[in-house]
Structure 1
């Protein structure tokens, strides 16, 4: 009787859906499923009902396993959005709403957090915490729910809640999710000297383990709901950005993954913590003692929906490809920039005067490409290694013209994997429970893909447009002169 090949399950909780993927050791997909999620947005407020997370995950895993021999499932891992938190009771039941990754109401709490913990945040490489980070939001939740003061409650990250449902009881969080909650990544502990001054007692915080650590096994009730066999190991996962990085095969020192979706996110791999005095870049602690520096811009492909919501993007791309390199737009989705620089007052601008929709579209694509190059100039200036493989993922990677434009401006070959997504990254991480290293698992499970080689014929004009872009950012007072000069020198 043939031995069943092991199958690995990756689960990803995004903003709009939960997704599950079942793959083997070669990265072949045996099953996939998804289920919709809904949010409540109003200004800086962004909440989800945490109860729907488990319902959606169960629906997604049942669909993914519909045509799979479930007893071949060997392990699973869960990814979720970074900085999404709530308060739960000791049984793991939600006691508050869930504040999503970009809920930005904890403005005053962030000021307090940064006043009290600034020396530590600088030592950890990110300088300051933003109002959307988990620790300020924890203070916000505590202040808005004084009725819970006498209850035994605990901070819970989005992935923690799902892992607890799978296993049947609360479990530790992981260092990736704990980063924005103030975890001391260098010393592997909660910094009680800071947290006590903020009024956060130790019992309020979960235990923390490294990604890939065995948390427990799927319980009987969870098995009946999700279709995943009881007893299946559940390993600690990572945030969705880190999971997508793993799914792209970006796990070797010096390799980078540029994710161009709604926003532009850059994630790399380093053998050491990379410190950014400006706080625009921060480092996750990954498996196998690697560090994962990265940052997320407020610009990206999401601007296309705002400017060209009813347009045929294929036609626009074809028309844009016929145009000479010309105007440049800096297309922000919301006011303010986070990475590769901090500028709360940054806003969209245009250099040049395109006279057609295709011209505006081309300017938008070029502007994001310029911002991507600035991201790489920034991380290089900070001393991060960048001499490894460069991958491009996200929905925009399907636009061949845009991907080529980005490769030309970067002057680097760009690789586009076949199936890059956070759920695959979690399947890869789950497979390390068999004893493989992360690099070994990714080498066999990240499949095929195509590549774009830079076209030197456009290099000179693109460098000039990038120089114009740098000057415009500097003139507006958003870009520090040191990074602007560094970026000019690299031209």
Structure 2
């Protein structure tokens, strides 16, 4: 049989999935790695850890192949906004500075509040926030000038992996479009931004199509992965747009919602639409497909915080959600703002903090758990409202990510959004998207829209009309509280830093 491998280089783990040609999963393997944080806002990873995870996951799934099987190709999806500074011989001078790193908040805020900042956003479609490589580069230049000057090459984590394997210095269009350095209309690096940063063009990778193919592994690397040296490696795209492809959210009015460590909601378009109010992002999947959406820091990591830090790990997530199912919608008047690590969309405020409102003697672990899930969902719904102003009405949602294992969360999502939530049978969206792009790159399929043949729904959560009025009332209070307290986030953040 002929098989394909899709690899997703994520924030906390890399996953490889071995697919049949029709998209059926034969086997998968995940390797986790550390995300190093500290109170300064640092959120970094070790490049070598991620490279080893890529090699290890490919090896783990390729070991399932027999001598009569054929491996047609390996495609890649990867986390957005990562940044690595490297030497002349491509050795890292920095760790991987991830999207979650907020140390560039001062630089991002200054630029965003200027007339130049809005012009840059309209040209690039990337919000000017600490997450973006643009802000990270400004921070390195201002706060660590010696290190900034010492860097010969800037790259993301996928570029690092391909550089190690093939000796090339490239970046796919999709990930390039999420750097804040890419000019959407001119379809190349924005030279005015590079001049502002003091970076020459040769310090950035060559931008290539997501369908670009590399081959010719060293015998040593091929043996480590247990694959033929001539196996085609397809560059692929960023994890966000790839998720839309992998869940078949390709049509107008169909949104892809992903909640893992963080979360995002996106709609596919045939042109790069940019939000004049700078609330959403615009990133490429390939040359003719774009996604408009918003990303939130506040995903399942917030629920994990409640479990570990507040409940002292005395309950499992399953026990927590089982308790929360017995609590009525609205958590008996308890509202939670989930901004534990600052927030991207819709408020774009790296100084934002979390809070419970309305907490009383009548509230316990069950109410707190449900309030956290509802708070995360209110925040995602606010992103969806902004998104609709740019791309039109959202009529249904294709959901993927670890949260789809929670029936409670999916029902809350359906009730707050007041629309059906569809769960694809396969939850390997990023890896499946990577496989689909690989098949087009190698001429096996003519159009990536053929993904529709490989994505079927396993469940649909229908909204419950009797819950609408409760959630509408509390969501309005959620927003009013946010408007009131957002003015104090910066002061509290400054105090915490001191």
TM-score of the pair, normalised by structure 1:
0.87
- Shift in CA distance, 461/438, structure 1 to aligned 2, threshold 3 Å: farther
CA contact (8 A) 1:125 1:277 kept: no
Quote how far apart the aligned CAs of 1:477 are.
Answer: 5.0
Name the CA distance, whole Å, in 2 between partners of 1:159 and 1:20: 14
Q: Cα deviations across residues 437-485 of structure 1 (Å, max 9, x unaligned)?
A: 554342233344211112223222222222332333334357xxxxxxx
CA contact (8 A) 2:437 2:448 kept: no
Match of 2:182, SS? coil
Partner of 1:482: none
Match of 1:324, SS? coil
Partner of 1:316: 320
Partner of 2:10: 14
Match of 1:359 among 343, 357, 367: 367
Name the CA distance, whole Å, in 1 between partners of 2:319 and 2:34: 32
Moved more, 25-34 or 322-331: 322-331
Partner of 1:340: 346
- Shift in CA distance, 337/227, structure 1 to aligned 2, threshold 3 Å: same
Quote how far apart the aligned CAs of 1:263 are.
Answer: 2.6
Partner of 1:67: 64
Match of 1:33, SS? strand
CA contact (8 A) 1:117 1:194 kept: no
Name the CA distance, whole Å, in 2 between partners of 1:45 and 1:12: 23
Matched, 1:157 2:153: no
Match of 2:356 among 345, 349, 354: 349
Partner of 1:486: none
Name the CA distance, whole Å, in 2 between partners of 1:183 and 1:370: 32
TM-score of the pair, normalised by structure 2:
0.86
CA contact (8 A) 1:244 1:420 kept: no
Partner of 1:97: 95
Name the CA distance, whole Å, in 2 between partners of 1:258 and 1:127: 19
Matched, 1:468 2:477: yes
Quote how far apart the aligned CAs of 1:412 are.
Answer: 1.0
- Shift in CA distance, 200/429, structure 1 to aligned 2, threshold 3 Å: same
Matched, 1:249 2:252: no
Name the CA distance, whole Å, in 2 between partners of 1:24 and 1:127: 36
Count of residue pairs brought into register by the alignment:
472
Match of 1:26 among 22, 25, 37: 22
What's the RMSD between the two structures over aligned residues?
2.8
Name the CA distance, whole Å, in 1 between partners of 2:56 and 2:321: 37
Match of 1:10, SS? strand
Name the CA distance, whole Å, in 2 between partners of 1:337 and 1:29: 35
- Shift in CA distance, 458/162, structure 1 to aligned 2, threshold 3 Å: same
CA contact (8 A) 2:126 2:283 kept: no
- Shift in CA distance, 397/351, structure 1 to aligned 2, threshold 3 Å: farther
CA contact (8 A) 1:74 1:233 kept: yes
Partner of 2:490: none
Moved more, 268-277 or 201-210: 268-277
Quote how far apart the aligned CAs of 1:113 are.
Answer: 5.6
- Shift in CA distance, 111/451, structure 1 to aligned 2, threshold 3 Å: closer
Partner of 2:36: 40
Partner of 1:433: 441
Name the CA distance, whole Å, in 1 between partners of 2:94 and 2:352: 32
- Shift in CA distance, 463/36, structure 1 to aligned 2, threshold 3 Å: closer
Matched, 1:370 2:374: no
- Shift in CA distance, 216/295, structure 1 to aligned 2, threshold 3 Å: farther
Name the CA distance, whole Å, in 2 between partners of 1:314 and 1:51: 34
CA contact (8 A) 2:127 2:180 kept: no
Quote how far apart the aligned CAs of 1:351 are.
Answer: 4.0
Matched, 1:110 2:124: no
Partner of 2:465: 456
Name the CA distance, whole Å, in 1 between partners of 2:411 and 2:59: 39
Q: Cα deviations across residues 245-278 of structure 1 (Å, max 9, x unaligned)?
A: 3322223333211112233321221223232344
Name the CA distance, whole Å, in 1 between partners of 2:136 and 2:36: 17
Quote how far apart the aligned CAs of 1:285 are.
Answer: 1.2
Name the CA distance, whole Å, in 2 between partners of 1:388 and 1:411: 10
Matched, 1:418 2:425: yes
- Shift in CA distance, 418/91, structure 1 to aligned 2, threshold 3 Å: farther
CA contact (8 A) 2:23 2:454 kept: yes
Partner of 1:58: 55
- Shift in CA distance, 164/449, structure 1 to aligned 2, threshold 3 Å: farther
Partner of 1:201: 200
- Shift in CA distance, 39/275, structure 1 to aligned 2, threshold 3 Å: same
- Shift in CA distance, 456/336, structure 1 to aligned 2, threshold 3 Å: same
CA contact (8 A) 2:280 2:345 kept: yes
Name the CA distance, whole Å, in 2 between partners of 1:276 and 1:351: 34
- Shift in CA distance, 102/243, structure 1 to aligned 2, threshold 3 Å: same
Match of 2:397 among 372, 390, 394: 390
Name the CA distance, whole Å, in 1 between partners of 2:252 and 2:216: 32
Q: Cα deviations across residues 333-384 of structure 1 (Å, max 9, x unaligned)?
A: 5253321223434532324644232122222222222222222111112x21
Name the CA distance, whole Å, in 2 between partners of 1:192 and 1:258: 34
